């Protein structure tokens, strides 16, 4: 470990030098990584025949494409060379041109977070990707379109980063767990012309294959570290003071992150190998405990919010026979975040996510084909754990301010939101067989088929009943009959019932400490019970790959049915390719069905979890300390704000056209993808949906503001990509160099954001007395920049950078400065389009357009082009007996560019047009030992 310490000291010295002379450092890094580009044009003169200088040198390009150019594979070698915040597998995908990130999730202000970032593939909604680990889906469908950051992403700052409601929509990241990237052997991204084998997505499939145990005995120990001291944070001047004195968990001026890993692997028998890995990430975020409005009353202090990620991974590989391989795996990856409410005492809440994923993979060679079966079970959660299971809502005014014990207090209660999945998958791939001979050509085919059975049980459960108290009453005198009344009658409360947590007495006056005055809450809402949802899914698919000379065809079809919609969804899949003169053209026509709305099913019946009470003596004579009992408040009905009905499964239709060619050790790829989404789910007003509210039960529904989910969402996306990479890494003297250049242009349009968002037009109806009727918000029209357009032609509001240019390079220098020292330099350069925002233009709203109320927007450009450069420097010191010390330095945003990622309005402080920036230059250190 002495070497690691020395290396880190050298790196820290380098950082200080770097801060003093950014230009020199940048020049050094550029020259080390790009010295080969100048020789790329002379590829014929570069020695390519002897690249096996070291086993660690890359022999493949940065990413590899499949036969039909619909997927890309990222190897372990590439993954270990990419700089990133190491927050999960989605960090690795920044080199993929078809993957985009949420604009404001990369905010400079939340660098203490550990959760993976949401991604969109080909413009689809972030929660409509299918994440797979070792053959098992790990999607968390509890509420993936909401998160603790959701209000910031949607352009407001009304949230403080935690839910302050009794029954919150607890959000979750769409990939159910945070997998340690070091465990990944290959990461495959299927973005177009996806095989019929895969379903339950509209964007794409992210398939992770974890490493298998190696022969011998191997292990690793490592630690990683970063903090605000090694991060340049950019904030808008308008909120700089608020940020530096933050009580808001969305704004993190200080943080410290530590990551530790222990790994052991090897074969305990000739036919049995075991791999164990444990990674532990911790982040500490000190914030002010209370906002300025409450600091004086409660006493200001600093509280540490925490984020925790643990990852226990156990995998075995057992060669039972020559034909049967059994691979069980177990992942337990809990994550948590501890928050506090700056407007309440005793408010600590811990939000838990992640959970357990286990599977058994059975591979059997039948001779005529290969049978793969995966039996899996997962238990994922998105839950809340309150330290104090109650909430007391205080009032303001001179009568209340004199009580020292008064004030908002509590953390509501514990809620367990779980998703348990039992699944079985089987696929049978037949050996290639000849169908017939056609002249000098033969027609061959490879047939495959499979099925998938899945049972999902979800619940939203209040672990223990909790109360939310309101309407506090203050007393200062005593009546002649022994009961207590309002202050204006000069009655004083000097004792409470011993079992009444909603009553408090205290000494208010120094001149008479023995005098007690008190207050009692007169109303409460009690929350208890649970809601449940169940879905059974059945899938079956067929696929055949036909080859005739240079022509390849892959027709297929996938059948999906679930117990929610009870409808059979048929998704045809087809892709073809034709090769000629080192070139290839591909054509794909496909349909992809998304997943059923599990999160929406859990919302149904949630109003029944609340029961309202009032004091029996509510009104007139109030509180009796000898009988402080409650009775049901019959004036408060359990009315639902939502009308539920069956929904269809959303889907996307795709056209994909590609052209690839090879020349001078280079691969050039061109691809066009057109997607059209139908039956997308969003939130709507019942009147817009044509529901006659007069026929609904007034005791069941809140008719004044009743909403419904609808399938009228639509989207249109056109994606153009150009990629250029070297087929075999270039060798220059004793080093090798690989690069990949990718350009992407995306035109994504949709009439809604997500299932819990409104249509982009008006979100409610409007009564027009002059017309004598109610105007409906328009699903068809929207006014943009002075013109009324079809609403589905409105540009997307997130994941919406029009184009990007990305360059990734990996350079390896064996025997760097010493025969035992190897250096790896990985660079990621990204140039992105200017960012635009839709801004409400209420002064231009159209009151009556064919009987509809049309909302107006203006397009506002909020940034110029953004350029970012990340670099990873990896040093390995080889010792004897196949062991090595290693140290990595990640520098993100090397040039410290101020890149705008969004803009928000903070209406609470009347501050508008507040810019959100990506993080400035930041450093991440990692060091360890492996053998």
Query: What are 748's strand-pairing partners?
Result: 717
Provide the pLDDT confidence category of residue 468 given band limits of 50, 70 and 90: very high
CB of 562 within 8 A of CB of 594?
Answer: no
Find the DSSP H helices in 35-128. Answer: 37-40, 76-79
Residue 890 has pLDDT above 80, yes or no: yes
Provide the pLDDT confidence category of residue 54 given band limits of 50, 70 and 90: very low
**DSSP assignments along 234-255, one per residue:** ---GGGHHHHHT---TT--S--
pLDDT for 9 equals: 44
Residue 765 has pLDDT above 50, yes or no: no
CB of 69 within 8 A of CB of 671?
Answer: yes
User: In which element (H, E) is residue 210 found?
Assistant: strand 205-210
385 C-beta neighbours (distance < 10 Å), count = 18
CB of 914 within 8 A of CB of 905?
Answer: yes
Cα–Cα distance, 822 to 877 (Å, whole number): 7
Provide the pLDDT confidence category of residue 152 given band limits of 50, 70 and 90: very low
| pLDDT per position as a tens digit, 347-376 | 999 999 999 999 999 999 999 999 999 999
| pLDDT per position as a tens digit, 668-704 | 999 999 999 999 888 887 877 778 888 888 778 877 7
Residue 161 has pLDDT above 80, yes or no: no
Residue 474 CB contacts under 8 Å (≥ 6 apart), including other chains: 399, 400, 403, 487, 517, 518, 519
| pTM greater than the 0.85 cutoff | yes
Closest CA to 105 of 923, 905, 916, 868: 916
Residue 769 has pLDDT above 60, yes or no: no
The domain segmentation of the chain, as residue ranges, is 55-380+397-473+528-760+774-930
CB of 443 within 8 A of CB of 534?
Answer: no
For the segment 808-814, the average pLDDT, to the nearest whole number, is 95
CB of 533 within 8 A of CB of 602?
Answer: yes
pLDDT for 550 equals: 94
Closest CA to 672 of 746, 599, 737, 575: 746
Residue 8 has pLDDT above 80, yes or no: no
CATH class of 55-380+397-473+528-760+774-930: mainly beta
For the segment 466-493, the average pLDDT, to the nearest whole number, is 63
Cα–Cα distance, 67 to 843 (Å, whole number): 54
Provide the pLDDT confidence category of residue 655 given band limits of 50, 70 and 90: very high
pLDDT for 36 equals: 39
CB of 323 within 8 A of CB of 364?
Answer: yes
CB of 868 within 8 A of CB of 830?
Answer: yes
Cα–Cα distance, 354 to 919 (Å, whole number): 26
Q: Answer with the residue of higher pLDDT: 496 or 52.
A: 496
pLDDT for 150 equals: 41
Sort 649 into a burial class: Cβ within 10 Å, 0-12 / 13-18 / 19+: buried
Rg of the chain over Cα atoms, rounded to whole angstroms, equals: 31
pLDDT for 155 equals: 35
User: In which element (H, E) is residue 446 found?
Assistant: strand 441-477
User: In which element (H, E) is residue 188 found?
Assistant: strand 184-190
Residue 568 has pLDDT above 50, yes or no: yes
% of the chain at pLDDT higher than 70 = 84
pLDDT for 908 equals: 54
Residue 868 has pLDDT above 70, yes or no: yes
pLDDT for 46 equals: 37
Please tell me the least confidently modeled range out of 503-517, 716-730, 855-869. 503-517
CA-based end-to-end distance of the chain: 13
Cα–Cα distance, 127 to 125 (Å, whole number): 6
pLDDT for 733 equals: 86
pLDDT for 803 equals: 93
Query: What are 26's strand-pairing partners?
Result: none
Cα–Cα distance, 925 to 230 (Å, whole number): 10
Mean pLDDT (the chain, rounded): 84
Q: Answer with the residue of higher pLDDT: 844 or 445.
A: 445
State both tokens at 474. 């203050």
| pLDDT per position as a tens digit, 837-851 | 888 887 888 777 777
**DSSP assignments along 748-809, one per residue:** EEESBSSTTSBBSS-SS-EEETTTTEEEEEPSSEEEETTEEEEGGGSBPSSS--SEEEEEEE
């Amino acid at each position: 470990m002495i070497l690691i310490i020395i290396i880190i000291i050298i790196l820290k010295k380098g950082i200080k030098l770097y801060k003093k002379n950014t230009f020199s450092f940048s020049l050094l890094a550029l020259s080390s990584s790009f010295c080969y580009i100048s020789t790329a044009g002379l590829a014929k003169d570069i020695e390519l025949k002897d690249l096996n200088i070291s086993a660690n040198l890359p022999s493949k390009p940065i990413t590899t494409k499949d036969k039909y150019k619909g997927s890309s594979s990222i190897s372990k070698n590439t993954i270990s060379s990419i700089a990133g915040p190491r927050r999960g597998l989605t960090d690795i995908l920044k080199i993929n041109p078809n993957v985009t990130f949420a604009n404001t999730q990369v905010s400079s202000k939340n660098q203490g977070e550990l959760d993976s970032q949401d991604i969109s593939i080909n413009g689809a909604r972030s929660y409509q990707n299918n994440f797979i680990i070792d053959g098992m889906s790990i999607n968390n469908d509890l509420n993936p379109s909401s998160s603790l950051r959701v209000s910031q992403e949607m352009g407001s700052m009304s949230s403080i980063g935690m839910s302050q409601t009794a029954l919150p929509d607890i959000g979750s990241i769409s990939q159910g767990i945070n997998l340690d990237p070091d465990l990944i052997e290959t990461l495959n991204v299927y973005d177009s012309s996806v095989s019929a084998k895969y379903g339950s997505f509209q964007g794409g499939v992210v398939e992770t294959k974890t490493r298998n145990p190696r022969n011998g005995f191997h292990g690793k120990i490592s630690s990683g570290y970063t903090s605000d001291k090694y991060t340049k944070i950019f904030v808008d001047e308008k909120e700089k003071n608020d940020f530096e004195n933050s009580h808001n968990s969305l704004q993190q001026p200080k943080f410290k992150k530590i990551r530790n890993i222990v790994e052991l692997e090897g074969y305990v028998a000739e036919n049995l190998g075991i791999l164990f890995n444990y990674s532990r990430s911790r982040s500490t975020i000190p914030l002010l405990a209370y906002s300025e409005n409450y600091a004086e009353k409660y006493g200001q202090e600093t509280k540490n919010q925490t984020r925790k990620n643990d990852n226990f991974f156990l995998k075995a590989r057992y060669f039972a026979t020559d034909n049967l391989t059994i691979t069980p795996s177990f992942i337990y990856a809990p994550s948590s975040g501890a928050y506090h409410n700056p407007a309440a005492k005793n408010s600590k809440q811990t939000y838990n996510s992640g959970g357990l994923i286990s599977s058994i993979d059975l591979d059997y060679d039948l001779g005529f084909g290969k049978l793969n079966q995966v039996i899996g079970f997962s238990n994922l959660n998105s839950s809340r754990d309150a330290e104090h299971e109650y909430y007391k809502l205080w009032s303001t005014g001179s009568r209340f301010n004199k009580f020292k014990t008064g004030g908002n207090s509590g953390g509501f209660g514990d809620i367990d939101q779980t998703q348990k999945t039992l699944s079985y998958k089987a696929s049978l791939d037949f050996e290639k067989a000849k169908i017939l001979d056609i002249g000098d050509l033969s027609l061959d085919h490879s047939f495959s088929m499979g099925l998938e059975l899945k049972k999902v049980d979800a619940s939203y459960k209040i672990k223990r009943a909790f109360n939310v108290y309101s309407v506090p009453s203050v007393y200062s005198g005593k009546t002649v009959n022994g009961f207590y009344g309002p202050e204006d009658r000069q009655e004083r409360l000097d004792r409470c019932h011993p079992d009444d947590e909603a009553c408090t007495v205290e000494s208010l006056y120094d001149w008479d400490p023995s005098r007690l005055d008190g207050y009692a809450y007169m109303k409460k809402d009690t929350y208890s019970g649970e809601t449940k949802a169940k879905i059974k899914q059945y899938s079956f698919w067929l696929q055949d790959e036909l080859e005739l000379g240079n022509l390849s065809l892959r027709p297929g079809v996938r059948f999906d049915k679930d117990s929610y919609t009870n409808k059979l969804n048929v998704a045809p899949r087809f892709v073809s390719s034709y090769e000629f003169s080192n070139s290839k053209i591909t054509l794909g026509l496909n349909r992809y069905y998304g997943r059923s709305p599990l999160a929406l099913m859990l919302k149904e019946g949630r109003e029944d979890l609340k029961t309202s009470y009032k004091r029996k003596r509510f009104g007139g004579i109030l509180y009796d300390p000898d009988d402080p009992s409650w009775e049901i408040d019959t004036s408060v009905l359990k009315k639902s704000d939502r009308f539920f009905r069956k929904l269809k499964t959303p889907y996307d239709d795709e056209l994909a056209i590609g052209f690839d060619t090879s020349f001078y050790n280079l691969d050039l790829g061109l691809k066009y993808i057109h997607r059209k989404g139908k039956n997308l789910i969003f939130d709507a007003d019942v009147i817009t949906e044509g529901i006659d509210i007069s026929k609904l039960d007034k005791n069941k529904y809140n008719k004044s503001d009743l909403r419904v989910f609808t399938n009228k969402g639509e989207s249109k996306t056109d994606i153009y990509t150009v990629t250029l990479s070297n087929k075999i890494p270039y060798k220059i003297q004793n080093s090798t160099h690989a690069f990949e250049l990718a350009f992407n242009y995306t035109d994504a349009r949709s009439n809604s954001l997500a299932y819990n968002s409104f249509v982009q037009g008006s979100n409610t109806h409007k009564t027009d007395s002059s017309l004598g009727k109610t105007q409906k918000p328009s699903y068809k029209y929207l006014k943009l920049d002075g013109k009324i357009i079809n609403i589905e032609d409105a540009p997307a509001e997130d994941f919406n950078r029009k184009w990007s240019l990305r360059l990734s390079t990996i350079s390896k220098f064996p025997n760097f400065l010493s025969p035992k020292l190897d250096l790896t330099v990985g660079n990621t350069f990204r140039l992105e389009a200017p960012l635009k925002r839709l801004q409400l233009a209420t002064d231009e709203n159209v009151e009556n357009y064919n009987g509809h109320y049309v909302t107006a927007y203006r397009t506002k450009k909020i940034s110029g082009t953004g350029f970012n450069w990340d670099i990873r420097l990896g040093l390995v010191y080889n010792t004897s007996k196949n062991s090595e010390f290693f140290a990595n330095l990640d520098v993100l945003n090397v040039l410290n560019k101020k890149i705008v990622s969004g803009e928000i309005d903070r209406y609470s402080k009347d501050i508008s047009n507040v810019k959100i920036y990506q993080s400035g230059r930041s450093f991440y250190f990692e060091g360890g030992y492996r053998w």
